[in-house]
Amino acid sequence: MEQMSQMQITEKLAILADAAKYDASCASSGTAKRSSNKAGGIGSTEGMGICHAYAPDGRCISLLKILLTNSCIFDCHYCINRKSSNVRRASFTAKEVVDLTLNFYKRNYIEGLFLSSGIIKSSNYTMEQIVEVARSLREDHDFRGYIHLKTIPDADPELLEVAGKHADRLSINVELPTRDGLNRLAPEKSEERIEGAMGGLKISILDNKDARRKYKSAPTFAPAGQSTQMIVGADGANDSAIVMRANGLYDRFKLRRVYYSAFSPIPDASAVLPLSRPPLMREHRLYQSDWLMRFYGFAPQEVVDAADGDGMLPLDIDPKLAWALKHRGQFPVDVNRAPKAMLLRVPGLGTKAVDAIVRTRRWRSLRLDDIGRLTVSVKKLRPFLIAEDWHPGGLLDRDNLRPLVAPSVEQLELFA
Amino acid sequence: MITARLAAEDDFDGWRDHCRGLLRLGARAEDIVWQVGEHVDDLFANASVPPPGATAIGVPPDFATLARSVICHSDPQRFSLLYALLADLKAGRRRMEDAADPLLRHLHCMAKHVRRDIHKMRAFVRFRRVEEEDGEHYIAWFEPEHHIVRHNSAFFVRRFAGMRWSILTPQISVHWDRDRLHEGPPARKEDAPTEDAVEEQWRTYYGSIFNPARLKVKAMLKEMPRKYWHNMPETALVPELIQSARNREIAMIETELFPSAPDTLTSLRADAVRCRRCPLYGPATQIVFGEGPENARLMFVGEQPGDQEDLAGKPFVGPAGQLFDAALAKAEIDRSQAYVTNAVKHFKFKPMGKRRIHERPNVGEINHCRWWLKREIELVKPELIVALGATAIRSLTGKNLPVTANRGQMFESLEGVPVFLTVHPSFLLRLPDEATVKAEKRRFLADLQAVKARMKRWVSV
């Protein structure tokens, strides 16, 4: 009997993990510090999340990412679990998810749980089940690891309150970059309701931060904030539209992250979707543009400016290099004198290298050799900078600069 | 020579105490031999004895942070390199702020390796549960690259305080009894348990969460280098997952994309109009789908549409098509009774000025488009297919067959339909001189006549 129930769980796990793999986020970082030290129990979180394994798709496995059930009353075209799809269906009980999480956690396979679900019966019923898993882990088992709950936008606000009490992160997927795409591909979802729920979460998170500032003992509410996900390549939105949309979401809802998920062919897909391999390189460029805005001081309009005429970021070079090639007048940048903000614009100089340059140049002038030691390849960034013993001269004005500084084709194929 | 002894590989305090004395003596880095543990092989060297309660020496705080990490590195030179840096800092020859200084850069790099190893240990330790008399015990075997186990054990205490656990390594072993941490001698792999029933579930999870449409093996190897694999239960699956990925992805796209595969040529053609399997749809004017009766007994498969076909939306209407028509007429084959199509349905070209120069489709493009050709063959059900050129025969049979060596011979398509191979008519347009053109046109005609001869046998059936 024991043997049989084990087998059933493994079978369900195969189905419900398979159904969860189209969610990009696996982050387990940026939450409150906790440890199991004094009170017993298990689990800790220490700021930086840990990737416990990597799958051959190059993605990190940090959390047990599963669906409670892949049955769903919705019929979203891009989703493998939509009502009209004929995938095998399975459901976990709350206790089964709790046991799996603890068993995996105790063997150091994971940082915690990322639980999502198809909608069964009603939004509230589904959300209650999700919340029960988190409650049981926290209250019955004193579990202090990371919990990320996918939130159902139409569920009652009281349920979202309880979810936030137990979870480190809450997320609601906006799903598609355009309202038109959402109406066409997810007819039962509405942008108003999704954004309404995200707005509600934002207020709860901010209120809670405020309360925690006043009273240290106030219970936390989603200390790792909220995030969302957009599918790239399922509708017609170009990169400029996606970047502007993401920026609007960051601004309005104080999101920690906007995840991009290259639309991936799914078994038994709807016929209205594109028939190609997932646009991984495009997804990669969008993430790079996200970094430019978050860490390199680029305004969204400047990222859009790096796109080509059709609003798409170039695939063969990164958006920072694309921007630099379009704004050659702003270069070369003198590494010994330029403000930090300008150093951050030099293609090939990362934030760490820029910090090292700023620290070092207080004491002495940097030569090209020095820059070489601080970066991966000085060859590609030479045309854009001036050092003690280096000036690019006319290099920057050459018509064939792009091939000189673009990555070689073989390198490009790593991402293909 | 001065010998400085340290109690253990990661004995930072011992190293610091020696340095206090050595710096006061003015010792140079190259005059000091650093030894870990008890040795008796250097009787003639002077031993450095750390002065008891030596006064602290002022060092920049970021030096102490750096040194604490570097001490854990496995490189035997680390003690000496750190001492050299310390001496230079004291003498004002180097500054911690100089991030581009070669020695500092080197040491920062070593510290980074140590931090990475610490992080990877937290990630890749795998406990196995055993039932003992006094309850469950979680035991792991791990082989770190650097001397990090002692440093890292606090992390595992914070995380697994409520569990009894042991981490066994070739350097030392550490044991947590839910109250205190104990240190034991080096261990062997055999000391650890060999299995845990939950690993089967973990492997199932690992295999299921992987998306075969996103294969990125290099990205995986960068973060999970092979040196860690042998102690991780899930990595045994990796080769198989990689190998089957492409097939699983093709299966995802091809067999499922049209859950009810179009059952007439008309609906197939309507679906093909929005094909985006490969990027060729982008620059092309339109798709050029096959043409001919749905019950044709003879099918011709060419390479891909050319400039004029792309504009007209019909196959074989350009210069090569005209040659093809003329040869068919001479061989007395009625084109209107045959189904004529291409292996690749979009025009692939390189723009050159105002002209669009034909470019040969690659294997990826041929394979993507094979989905449509397969449906065409299944719906038309021809009795004979004539492959015109290398691309066609590659698509039909999945094999690279040199055309000149194999023309006039019979093969079988992947669907099991007989295939006759000859050249593509455009071959006749690229020949250097009139005499060769004449000879090749005759050979092409002869091939088509051989096809006609086969067709005559059908009638008698």
pLDDT tens digits, one per residue of A212-233: 998 888 888 999 999 999 988 8
For residue A131, the model assigns a pLDDT of: 97
**B294-340: per-residue pLDDT in tens?**
999 999 999 999 999 998 889 999 999 999 999 999 999 999 999 99
Is the pLDDT confidence value at B282 over 90?
A: no
Contact B276 A10 (CB under 8 A): no
The whole-angstrom separation of Cα A250 and Cα B410 is 63
B195 CB near a chain A CB, below 8 Å? no
Sheet arrangement for strand A169-171: A63-67, A112-116, A146-150, A169-171, A226-232, A257-262
**A298-316: per-residue pLDDT in tens?**
999 999 999 988 899 998 8
The token pair at A322 is: 């694309």
User: What distance in Å separates residue B277's CA from the closest CA in chain A?
Assistant: 4
The token pair at B5 is: 């002894």
B127 CB near a chain A CB, below 8 Å? yes
Contact list, A355 vs chain B (CB under 8 Å) = 99
Give the pLDDT band of residue A349 (cuts 50, 70, 90).
very high
B250 CB near a chain A CB, below 8 Å? no
More confident residue, B175 or B38: B175
Smallest Cβ–Cβ distance between A360 and the set B100, B271, B277 belongs to B100
The whole-angstrom separation of Cα B73 and Cα B113 is 8
For residue A411, the model assigns a pLDDT of: 41
**A87-130: per-residue pLDDT in tens?**
788 899 999 999 999 999 999 999 999 999 999 888 999 999 99
In B381-460, where does DSSP find H-type helix?
Answer: 390-397, 403-406, 434-460
The token pair at B340 is: 């004529």
Cβ under 8 Å to A: B residues 77-116 = 95, 97-100, 102, 105
Give the pLDDT band of residue B232 (cuts 50, 70, 90).
very high
For residue A408, the model assigns a pLDDT of: 62
Is the pLDDT confidence value at B460 over 60?
A: no
The whole-angstrom separation of Cα A333 and Cα A357 is 13
Q: Which CATH number fits domain A2-299: 1.10.10.350, 3.30.70.2740, 3.20.20.70, 3.30.565.10?
A: 3.20.20.70
DSSP 3-state of A133:
helix
**Percentage of chain B exceeding pLDDT 70:** 92
DSSP 3-state of B331:
coil
For residue A189, the model assigns a pLDDT of: 87
Contact list, B278 vs chain A (CB under 8 Å) = 276
For residue B120, the model assigns a pLDDT of: 96
* Parallel, antiparallel or unpaired: strands B46-48 and B2-6: parallel
Contact B202 A104 (CB under 8 A): yes
List the single residue in A with minimal CA-CA distance to B129: A107
Is the pLDDT confidence value at A415 over 60?
A: no
- Portions of chain A given CATH number 3.20.20.70: 2-299
Pick the residue of A100, A106, A110 with the most B CBs within 10 A to test the interface with B by mutation.
Answer: A106
Contact A265 B97 (CB under 8 A): no
DSSP 3-state of B300:
strand
**A49-60: per-residue pLDDT in tens?**
999 999 998 889
**Average pLDDT rounded to a whole number, residues B12-29:** 91
Contact A104 B205 (CB under 8 A): yes
Give the pLDDT band of residue B15 (cuts 50, 70, 90).
very high
Mean pLDDT for all residues in chain A: 87
Contact B257 A271 (CB under 8 A): yes
**Average pLDDT rounded to a whole number, residues A250-260:** 90
Cβ neighbours of A139 (radius 10 Å): 10
Cβ under 8 Å to A: B residues 3-42 = none
More confident residue, A374 or B53: A374
Structural domains of chain B in order of their starting residue, each with its CATH number: 2-121 (no CATH), 125-191 (no CATH), 198-257 (no CATH), 265-460 (3.40.470.10)
Pick the residue of A57, A63, A312, A343 with the most B CBs within 10 A to test the interface with B by mutation.
Answer: A57
Contact B210 A6 (CB under 8 A): no
For residue B54, the model assigns a pLDDT of: 60
* 8 A C-beta contact, residue A274 and residue A234: yes
Is the pLDDT confidence value at A3 over 50?
A: no
For residue A358, the model assigns a pLDDT of: 95
For residue B352, the model assigns a pLDDT of: 83
Pick the residue of A65, A87, A107, A261 with the most B CBs within 10 A to test the interface with B by mutation.
Answer: A107
For residue A1, the model assigns a pLDDT of: 39
The whole-angstrom separation of Cα A33 and Cα A27 is 15
Interface confidence, given as ipTM, is 0.88
Q: At what angle do helices B61-70 and B12-25 cross, to 10 degrees?
A: 120
The token pair at B297 is: 């007994």
Give the pLDDT band of residue A4 (cuts 50, 70, 90).
very low
The whole-angstrom separation of Cα B256 and Cα B261 is 9
Is the pLDDT confidence value at B56 over 90?
A: no
**Average pLDDT rounded to a whole number, residues A18-25:** 83
Q: Which residues pair with A69 in a beta bridge?
A: A91
First to last CA, chain A: 47
The whole-angstrom separation of Cα A290 and Cα A296 is 10
Burial B178-209 (b: 16+ CB within 10 A, else e): eeeeeeeeebeeeebeeebebbebbbbbbbbb
**Average pLDDT rounded to a whole number, residues A1-21:** 76
**Average pLDDT rounded to a whole number, residues B251-259:** 51
Query: Which long-range CB contacts under 8 A does A288-296 form with residues at least 24 apart?
Result: A288/A318, A288/A319, A288/A320, A289/A239, A289/A243, A289/A313, A289/A319, A290/A246, A290/A258, A290/A260, A292/A319, A292/A320, A292/A323, A293/A243, A293/A247, A293/A250, A295/A351, A296/A320, A296/A344, A296/A345, A296/A351
Q: Which residues pair with A260 in a beta bridge?
A: A230
Nearest in space to B99 (alpha carbons), one of A376, A381, A364, A344: A364
